[in-house]
Structure 1
Amino acid sequence: MSVVRRALRSAVLAAILGVALVVVPDSGVHPMESALVKVEVAEGVDIGDLAHGEDVITFLAVGSDARPGEDMLRTRGDALHMIFLNTKTGAAADIGIPRDSYVPIPGAGSDRINAALYYGGPDALGQAVGNLVGVQPDYVFVTRFLYFQHMIQDIGGVTVDNPRAFADAYMRPEGFAAGEIHLNGQGALQFARARKELPGGDFDRSANQSRIIAGIQRKIRDHQDDKGFIARGVLSVMENLHTDLAPSELFRIAHAIADVDPAKVTSCVVHGGFANIGGASVVTPDTAAARRYGDDARNDATIKSC
């Protein structure tokens, strides 16, 4: 069995965010690298904000910048993407949320949205993002960036369509060419995290993260017909992923990811303005646009326009 195929089978669930699954056999010895949490809806959330089509599964995908020894479920999140998967049509929608968006945090006043993970874990972050887009996620998926890099490397890299050439003096001095480019693990992490030289800053960075997610999903889809691919992938997940989900739920999620049609993927980033609040530079998100994207995607996992 090839290294690429083994890695892909371990990465079925990771396609929703372009991040990695735990592949170490003894998660009790090694630090937690990823977790899939079913959201417990807080009291007081409007039931109208929860409703979405019965064929649509919703995820909040989170890249955690937790350092070694830190609990990745109680540190500030970094990459934030609300993902909608339509299990019937193969459509998928991705709403990128800039990490510095200044919003109400359940039980903690207002702050940058990524701080919700620190204040209240995956449930609080899921609720904060759900309140912004008007649809609460069914699941929150969190992983460390370093493991994302390793997974991309193991599957042989990903291909993305880069709309503009750019460089980053600290992360990638040689830069990224415009057009279709192939990225190894380190390159994918740099592409997903660079922002200083992008004209749209955090907004363009979030869009680049969506391009990485789409690239991983395409690679997963290319291998979905391999005999036993889904079954072996989910069994590997069950051995190593930190989750309380039942095997049947993981199989449903895995099939939904593998069945996404790249031609039916839409993505938008929640834009906004900038402000200085309490001495901190923050993004003031366009809440009307965020709600419109959520309203579009809730029933069929399709966003009409950005």
Structure 2
Amino acid sequence: MRGRGWRRWLAIGAVLAVAALVVPDSAVKSTEIELLKVNTADGVDLSPDVVWILAVGSDARPGEDMTHTRGDALQLIGMNTKTGAATAIGIPRDSWVDIPGHGYEKINAALYFGGPQLMGQAVGNLVGIQPDYVFVTRFLFFQDMVNGIGGIDVHNPVRFTDDAIHPPQYPTGFPAGKIHLNGWSALAFSRMRHYLPRGDFDRSANQQRVLRGIQSTVHAKAHVPGFIERGVVSVMAHMHTDLGPVELFKLAQAMAQVDPAKITSCVVQGGIGDVNGASVVLPYVDQARRLGNDARKDAVIKHC
């Protein structure tokens, strides 16, 4: 790393350390983000180059504990700290799986039953990769984060709308092609599914497009003085974590080194079933494991 870049990362590390000391207790700030290390005795991938984070969008309402409600958006993200590659494996929230200790349920119920640890275990059992960390956020903070970086650009493959949600920016639905999203429209783009050709599967793919848009924007603006530092302070001010400043610094560095041109993504597919009158996704476990095996060593998916 060049001298200037290294000095900047030292400065960011100092910001993380100071922020951790200034706002150490979630009781004195609004907790909008939870970042936890997964505690498992075995099964964690120990590749020295790849870090796995399960990103969860919590469906918590105001006043509810976001770490013990149903997860709405589930993306298993791998980052290769050596090559700058990254991948996202999308998990439809209605996937019908065996949740340890609770029997078969929709996979997003794992967050309700056992918090981030059980959520990470359930996704890890499906894909075959146990995440190193679980990142949970409320949707309102997601909106603020997107607005804070000036919005994002995504490529939308097909026009769609939703009778229940009409973003002011796109009152007649999202057109096909390259579109710019602010916080509210990015959230709507990530959550709509009823008029998408493949429903929950397409919604998960749209969530990946939004994540790619966020990373691309951060990567493009990272050179702007103070941009990364302000983002770190904003996140720390609303985050509860069991990670120390050094580990947070390493994660921030891994995220910043991701090359937008080296991002791959896939969504676990499945059939549609009915359990006690509720629609569920019956995930193709063989495909989920193949994706995990493909990406395990280098955070690259060669084909879906």
Q: Tell me the TM-score normalized by structure 2.
A: 0.87
Q: Partners of 2:230 and 2:184 in 1: how far apart?
A: 27
Aligned to 1:131: 125
SS of alignment partner, residue 27 of structure 2:
coil
Q: Alpha carbons of 1:188 and 1:135: their partners in 2 closer, same or farther (altered >3 Å)?
A: same
SS of alignment partner, residue 50 of structure 1:
coil
Q: Partners of 2:111 and 2:192 in 1: how far apart?
A: 22
Aligned to 1:253: 251
Q: Alpha carbons of 1:197 and 1:239: their partners in 2 closer, same or farther (altered >3 Å)?
A: closer
Q: Partners of 2:151 and 2:277 in 1: how far apart?
A: 40
1:185 is aligned to 2:183: yes
1:244 is aligned to 2:238: no
SS of alignment partner, residue 88 of structure 1:
coil
Query: What letter corresponds to residue 56 of structure 2 in structure 1?
Result: V
Q: Partners of 2:235 and 2:65 in 1: how far apart?
A: 20
Q: Partners of 2:198 and 2:61 in 1: how far apart?
A: 27
Out of 74, 77, 85, the residue aligned to residue 71 of structure 2 is 77
After superposition, where does 1:65-104 map in structure 2 within 5 Å? 65-104=59-98
Q: Any gaps of 5 or more consecutive residues in structure 2?
A: 1-11, 17-22
Aligned to 2:281: 283
Question: Does the aligned pair in 2 maintain the 1:230–1:255 contact within 8 Å?
Answer: no
Aligned to 2:4: none
In the TM superposition, what is the alpha-carbon distance from 1:147 to its structure 2 partner?
1.4
Aligned to 1:299: 297
In the TM superposition, what is the alpha-carbon distance from 1:226 to its structure 2 partner?
3.6
After superposition, where does 1:3-152 map in structure 2 within 5 Å? 27-41=26-40, 47=42, 49-152=43-146
Aligned to 1:4: none
Question: Does the aligned pair in 2 maintain the 1:103–1:111 contact within 8 Å?
Answer: yes
Question: Does the aligned pair in 2 maintain the 1:25–1:240 contact within 8 Å?
Answer: no
Q: What's the CA shift string for 1:193-213, capped at 9, x where partnerless? A: 000000000000000000000
Q: Partners of 1:155 and 1:273 in 2: how far apart?
A: 37
Out of 271, 275, 298, the residue aligned to residue 273 of structure 1 is 271
Q: Any gaps of 5 or more consecutive residues in structure 1?
A: 1-8, 14-23
In the TM superposition, what is the alpha-carbon distance from 1:277 to its structure 2 partner?
1.3
Question: Does the aligned pair in 2 maintain the 1:230–1:254 contact within 8 Å?
Answer: no
Question: Does the aligned pair in 1 maintain the 2:25–2:240 contact within 8 Å?
Answer: no
SS of alignment partner, residue 195 of structure 2:
coil
Question: Does the aligned pair in 2 maintain the 1:75–1:117 contact within 8 Å?
Answer: yes
Out of 202, 205, 208, the residue aligned to residue 203 of structure 2 is 205
In the TM superposition, what is the alpha-carbon distance from 1:279 to its structure 2 partner?
2.4
Q: Alpha carbons of 1:224 and 1:296: their partners in 2 closer, same or farther (altered >3 Å)?
A: same
In the TM superposition, what is the alpha-carbon distance from 1:155 to its structure 2 partner?
1.8
In the TM superposition, what is the alpha-carbon distance from 1:154 to its structure 2 partner?
2.3
Q: Partners of 1:280 and 1:169 in 2: how far apart?
A: 21
Q: What's the CA shift string for 1:246-280, capped at 9, x where partnerless? A: 11111111111111111100000001001111222
In the TM superposition, what is the alpha-carbon distance from 1:26 to its structure 2 partner?
8.3
Question: Does the aligned pair in 1 maintain the 2:30–2:238 contact within 8 Å?
Answer: no
Q: Partners of 1:151 and 1:224 in 2: how far apart?
A: 15
Out of 141, 156, 164, the residue aligned to residue 162 of structure 1 is 156
Q: What is the CA RMSD across the aligned residues, in angstroms?
A: 2.0
Question: Does the aligned pair in 1 maintain the 2:55–2:77 contact within 8 Å?
Answer: yes
Out of 244, 260, 263, the residue aligned to residue 262 of structure 1 is 260
Percent identity of paired positions between Structure 1 and Structure 2: 61
Query: What letter corresponds to residue 197 of structure 1 in structure 2?
Result: Y
Q: Alpha carbons of 1:25 and 1:57: their partners in 2 closer, same or farther (altered >3 Å)?
A: closer
Q: Partners of 2:113 and 2:270 in 1: how far apart?
A: 24
Q: Partners of 1:236 and 1:68 in 2: how far apart?
A: 20
In the TM superposition, what is the alpha-carbon distance from 1:31 to its structure 2 partner?
3.8
Question: Does the aligned pair in 2 maintain the 1:195–1:205 contact within 8 Å?
Answer: yes
User: Greater shift after overlay, 185-194 or 237-246?
Assistant: 237-246
Query: What letter corresponds to residue 58 of structure 1 in structure 2?
Result: W
Question: Does the aligned pair in 2 maintain the 1:37–1:141 contact within 8 Å?
Answer: yes
After superposition, where does 1:201-240 map in structure 2 within 5 Å? 201-227=199-225, 230=228, 233-234=231-232, 236-240=234-238
Q: Alpha carbons of 1:232 and 1:197: their partners in 2 closer, same or farther (altered >3 Å)?
A: closer
Give the total of aligned pairs: 280
Aligned to 1:20: none
